[in-house]
Structure 1
Amino acid sequence: MAHQGQAADYYSSQNNGGGQYQQQGYQQYAPPPGPPSQTYQQQGYQQQYPPPPGPPQQSYQQYPPPAGPPEQGHQQQPQPPQDPKYSQQPPTYGANFVPPQDDKQSFQDTFKIQKPKFNDVWAGLLFIATFLGFVAVSGLTLSRYSRYHKFNGGGIYGSSNDFSLDTNTIILFVFVLCIGFAVSWAYFLAARAFTKQFVWLTGILNCAFAVGTAVYYLYRHLWGAGIVFALFAVFSIFCFISWIPRIPFAVVMLQQAMDIARMRRVHVFLVSLIGGILSVAFAAWFSITLVAIYVAYEPSSSGGTSNPSCTNGGCSSGRVIGLVVFVTFAGYWITEWLKNTIYSVIAGVYGSWYFCAGKPGGIPKAATAGALKRATTYSFGSISFGSLIVAIINMLRQGCSIAQQQEAADGNIVGAIMFCILGCIIGILDWLVTFINRYAFSHIALYGKAYIPAAKDTWKMMKDRGIDALVNDCLVGPVLTMGSVFVAYLCALFAYLYLEFTKPSYNDGRTFTPVIMAFAFLIGLQICQTFLTPIGAGIDTIFVAMAWDPQVAMTDHPEFWERVVHVYPHVQDLIHV
């Protein structure tokens, strides 16, 4: 019975777990002396945690058994103190975690919130107001567009509009949506079918496409765009070569994420498909609204065809710019909210796997539905808050992208390079915020905390555990980003070729080419990122869960831990249990 009490002490550990691992975690693989019915079997480890092949010292050299008799070591083991650094203590299996005892226990029962409340309400209300504003602008502009539909043509050709976007542009965006959806879904399925080759495939395709695009633009004598893409190609090749030593670790993490996605009670592929369809639907809505703004309020150029929509006044370039800025900001915020909601749902599922799969009852019942309910109720404001920060940064980067392409189209190479550098700086800021968001949302998904406290606590705990170094050496996030950028550039290139071949009258002198290419890039990027969000969310949540309780990885998922140690032995020195 003494060992039963010791097992309970082990599972109630929060910090300073290294000593307990020396006493008990090691003992799981080498049973202590004495009859099994009184020690090893009583702790319930004999069937659940079979000893791995080979001596345990080979995998856990940094955790040697303590000197002296095991019983004495157990008796002298102190109870770890509460750590005041975290506003919420590190979990037992997870903070506020109740291990499921049977198949009837739900996600809400397993990951209970101590004091359920709606967090960051102001951000949620502001998001709703922005969405309603987008609906109002879309309805008004589409109404004006429909009145003069014939003036803007019924297809690719036949438009009388020579001063702003028209039906030709809508068809262009329809093709972009189809390309974004098809390539993104195929890319996601490739991650499922060719997991080992996925990282290599992404890097090679991205580098080859960047080089090919640069060569094509230079061939067309678009010197500004050609030089910018040439610099991007050099950067991509350098990054890929520097990543090669870390690819095996990324492959292990990606394989683990895909193995979990195939498990019972996990709906990762379904969530990805539904999220992708919603992303495409909103992108179509956004594209039509963008074209309708130009049609409804763009004044005709001097000496050109007059805009019948402006007969009663109300048209101006300032109004067009203002409305485009607003719908672009709203579009970024809405799509970021959609991605982060999907992220939170998947984080709840993968957190359930990490803390529950090795326990009686397994993954909680309806984990996906339970995580979705929490994301759209108590955590709605927190997700809106985190999405708002990213939306603002992306707006700034979008402006730099348009300005860069405009300078390149005008032949101003210096200006194009300067805006490219500014865009890179903003991109680094975007990466930093997104990096923090990813792990904050994992905390929010499981424990329903407000955005800022969740971000602070999660990052501090990851630093203390040493997981931050582990995260930096994992390439899955950069690989998924590289894949999304590949799809985005493919959509932008299609937009350029479409405009070159159809030659719409409104685009004489390539006036609208930079704007249309920028929005095609945006649409492709957001669609692909939405499809790939479940993969990144799963891997990020595994890292966060390991920061909360690394012992669970070693005891409940020994095969996964052994594979990580095999390709990345340094992990044993990084993680501070």
Structure 2
Amino acid sequence: MTHQGQAADYYSNQSMAGAGAPYQQQQQGYQQYPPPPAHLQQGYQQQQQYPPPQQPYQPQEPKYTQQPPTYGANFVPPQDDKQSFQETFKIQKPKFNDLWAGLLLIATFCGFVAVSGLTLHRYSKHVSFNGGGIYGGSNNFSLDTNTIILFAFVLCVGFAVSWAYFLAARAFTKQFVWITGILNCALAVGTAVYYLYRRLWGAGIVFAIFAVFAIICFISWIPRIPFAVVMLQKTMDIARMKRVHVFLVSLVGGLLSVIFAGWFSVTLVAIYVSYMPSNPGSNPNPACSEGGCSSGKVIGLVVFVTFAGYWISEWIKNTMYTTIAGVYGSWYFCAGKPGGIPSGATSGALRRATTYSFGSISFGSLIVALINMLRQACSIAQQQEASEGNLVGSIMFCILGCLIGCLDWLVEFINRYAFSHIALYGKPYIAAAKDTWKMMKDRGVDALVNDCLVGPVLTMGSVFVAYLCALLAYLYLDYTHPAYNNDRTFTPVIMAFSFLIGLQVCQIFMTPIGAGVDTVFVAMAWDPQVAITDHPDFWDRLVHVYPHIQQVIHV
């Protein structure tokens, strides 16, 4: 036994020996106790010198190694209702960030305009050859007017269903998550059954795998639905407030996306008509009499306009996102202050997104466009293999597409929160992504984000619209039997582009909702105390359905 332990036992035994004596005897006995041996005294004295036991652990506020210049550094709380967005969220050193990406996007757009103008001019010279409607064309080797009408139907369906889906989120917010999950699972199962019934074994098996995956995901989401519902309801409540124009931004952005998608669709058809050489035994292509026709040129132009289409539509979506992020950030930081939400918050955020942050938004959109190009190529290849009955090849391309989809999800995840940062503080894209991600990790909000289903639900809804558009394209081609598609060569390509159109249109419509939820998360990472002091009702609802939030963001 150590000296310390022996000394403690010695004093303990001596005390217990007088425990039954009267109080005075104990007092006297205590005075008469002989001192312990010297070696025990030394051990006891050493024990007394030990530091006191540590206090119970108290969680500390995380200390940033590099505090970004965000809330509190250039934020001026509004003192009256006349203070503008620019005055509330000041940029310390205004400048055009990531200018190279903005200039490259402008050059790409100009290239798209040039290709579209040239091909549409060639197409207009031979309209009679391509038919004036669904039937009657002499073109039996490439896309024609029949395809343009198909894309017009796809656009109408995409616009109508996307707008109805957005209105459903507004009217049935509490049931919205359940509606989306059930519809997506039902459509995936129905599509798989239909393809198997038509003996398209490759496509049927692939869509059956998608259906099983969708059902498993939805079942795993059920415990987290109450938290997602609270976030979604608050987002829609803010959208109905004064000085907030979320519904208008969604409608205008959706219309712009439909107009651009229509322009893209006509240009795509015109490329095939203008430069595709006719097959042996087919009617000669009159456009080739002017020269310049080749399959290589068609492939090159289709790749360019597809890339341009992705990049431009992503820029439209992300500009909407950044604008709405500025509005929701204004609500979070300013709604509880005397002046309330700054005047002209929507127009001020839009002005910043299209000037100082134009290059940064273009940069983030470029990364997504490149990834989507690869995923589009995998989708076309997978459907081509499925139509030919090559099951192994179809599954391999499906797996590759899923891997690319995971990469796309990661980039989109980072982009969303980086654009929220850019909206309020006008930082370059890379710096905003690093600072925002670090703050969310330090605060623990990344765990909060992972438990929220609003983003996946909106993505699932967009995929639902895309499925409808792709299925419409298949049924249209199967019913009209255009001459150029007798052997179904163009079916995978047209279905893939229909899927793309439906997906992009719905994503743009739903961008304001996702932007609102994401910005609230980022704002809580910047200053969680604002949620408690300025928005107590919202905070209490979050704590009720998600008690862990009090530990997650360390307040």
| TM-score relative to the length of structure 1 | 0.85
* Matching residue's letter, 1:89: P
Cα pair distance change 1:328/1:448, threshold 3 Å: same
Equivalent residues of 2:335, 2:341 under 8 A apart: yes
How far 1:303 sits from its partner (Å)?
1.3
Aligned to 1:423: 401
Match of 1:310 in 2: 288
CA distance in 2 between partners of 1:258 and 1:461 (Å): 26
The counterpart of 1:484, out of the listed 414, 439, 462, is 462
Residue 379 (structure 2) aligned to one of 398, 401, 413 = 401
2-side partners of 1:237 and 1:83: how far apart?
A: 41
Give the equivalent residue in structure 2 for 1:217.
195
Residue 507 of structure 1: which of 477, 481, 485 is its match? 485
| C-alpha displacement of 1:250 | 0.1
Q: Following superposition of structure 1 onto structure 2, how do residues 517-528 of structure 1 map, counting pairs within 5 Å?
A: 517-528=495-506
Match of residue 542, structure 2, among 556, 559, 564: 564
Name the SS for the 1:510 alignment partner. coil
1:278 counterpart SS class: helix
1:273 corresponds to which of 233, 245, 251: 251
The 3-state SS of whatever aligns with 1:221 is: coil
| 2:9 match | none
| Residues 453-510 of structure 1, C-alpha deviations (whole Å, 9 max, x = no match) | 0000000000000100000000000000000000001000000000000000000110
Task: Supply the AA of the counterpart residue of 2:133.
Answer: G
Q: Which runs of 5+ in 1 are unaligned?
A: 1-77
> Does 2:66 align with 1:85?
yes
Aligned counterpart, 1:208: 186
Give the one of 403, 414, 420 matched to 1:436. 414
Residues 70 and 425 in structure 2, CA contact (< 8 A), matched pair in contact too: no
For residue 375 of structure 1, what is the aligned residue in structure 2? 353
> Highest Rg: 1 or 2?
2
| 8 Å Cα contact 2:62-2:443 kept in structure 1 | no
Please tell me whether the aligned partners of residues 141 and 293 of structure 1 are also in contact (alpha carbons under 8 angstroms).
Answer: yes
Aligned partners of 1:379 and 1:448 also within 8 Å: yes
Counterpart amino acid of 1:551? Q
Tell whether 2:116 aligns with 1:138.
Answer: yes
- Give the match for residue 472 of structure 1: 450
1:296 equivalent to 2:277? Answer no
Kept in 2: contact 1:464–1:576 (CA 8 A): no
Give, in whole Å, the separation in 1 of the partners of 2:509 and 2:533: 32
AA aligned to 1:224 is: G
* 1:253 alignment counterpart: 231
User: Is 1:533 the equivalent of 2:511?
Assistant: yes
Relative distance call for 1:554 and 1:154 in structure 2 (3 A) is: same
Q: CA deviation at 1:84?
A: 4.2
Deviations 1:208-255 (A, max 9, x none): 000000000000000000000000000000000000000000000000
Match of 2:310 among 313, 322, 332: 332
Of residues 202, 209, 225, the one that matches 1:231 is 209
The 1:251/1:459 distance shift into structure 2, 3 A limit, reads same
Q: CA RMSD in A?
A: 1.4
Shift of 1:334: 0.2
Q: Which amino acid aligns with 1:331?
A: G
Amino acid at match of 1:369: S
Which of 108, 128, 136 is matched with 1:158 structurally? Answer: 136
1:312: how far off?
2.5
Given that 2:318 and 2:361 are in contact with CA atoms closer than 8 Å, whether structure 1 keeps it comes out as yes
Residue 82 of structure 1, CA deviation: 8.7
How many residues align? The count is 498
Write the distance in 2 (CA, Å) between the matches of 1:286 and 1:106.
38
Whether the 8 Å contact between 2:64 and 2:442 is mirrored in structure 1 is no
Counterpart of 2:486 in 1: which secondary structure? helix
2:200–2:387 contact (8 Å) kept in structure 1? yes
| SS of residue in 2 equivalent to 1:311 | helix
C-alpha distance in 1 between matches for 2:264 and 2:336 = 45
Residue 47 of structure 1 is matched in structure 2 by: none
Query: Which of the numbers 146, 151, 160 marks the counterpart of 1:168?
Result: 146
- In the alignment, is residue 385 of structure 1 matched against residue 366 of structure 2? no
Which of 162, 168, 173 is the matching residue for 1:195?
173
Whether the 8 Å contact between 1:90 and 1:549 is mirrored in structure 2 is: no
Q: Distance in 1 between the 2:444 and 2:308 partners?
A: 37
Q: Which runs of 5+ in 2 are unaligned?
A: 1-59
Checking the alignment, whether the CA contact within 8 Å between 1:82 and 1:89 is kept in structure 2 is no
The Cα of 1:137 is off from its aligned counterpart by 0.2
Please tell me whether residue 449 in structure 1 is matched to residue 427 in structure 2: yes
Contact 2:162–2:505 (8 Å) recurs in 1: yes
User: Which residue of the partner structure matches residue 341 of structure 2?
Assistant: 363
Contact 2:319 2:361 in 1 (8 A): yes
**3-state DSSP class of the match of 2:487?**
helix
Task: Output the CA distance in 2 between the equivalents of 1:240 and 1:367.
Answer: 36
Q: C-alpha separation between the residues in 1 aligned to 2:180 and 2:174?
A: 11
* Paired residues of 1:138 and 1:289 also in contact (CA < 8 A): yes
Q: How far apart are residue 89 of structure 1 and its match?
A: 3.4
Task: Name the aligned partner's letter for residue 575 of structure 1.
Answer: I
Q: 1:481 to 1:518 in 2, by over 3 A?
A: same
User: Contact conserved, 1:90 with 1:548, CA < 8 A, in 2?
Assistant: yes
Supply the distance in 2 between the matched residues of 1:278 and 1:426 (Cα, whole angstroms).
27
Q: Which residue in 2 is equivalent to 1:498?
A: 476
Q: 1:573 aligns with which of 535, 551, 554?
A: 551
Deviating above 6 A after TM superposition, structure 1's stretches of 4 or more consecutive aligned residues are none
- In the alignment, the residues of structure 1 paired with residue 362 and residue 524 of structure 2 have an alpha-carbon distance, to the nearest angstrom, of 26
Deviations 1:508-534 (A, max 9, x none): 110100000000000000000000000
1:46-85 matched pairs, under 5 angstroms: 83-85=64-66
AA paired with 1:223?
W
Alignment of 1:1-150 (within 5 A): 83-86=64-67, 88-92=68-72, 95-150=73-128
TM-score normalised per structure 2: 0.89
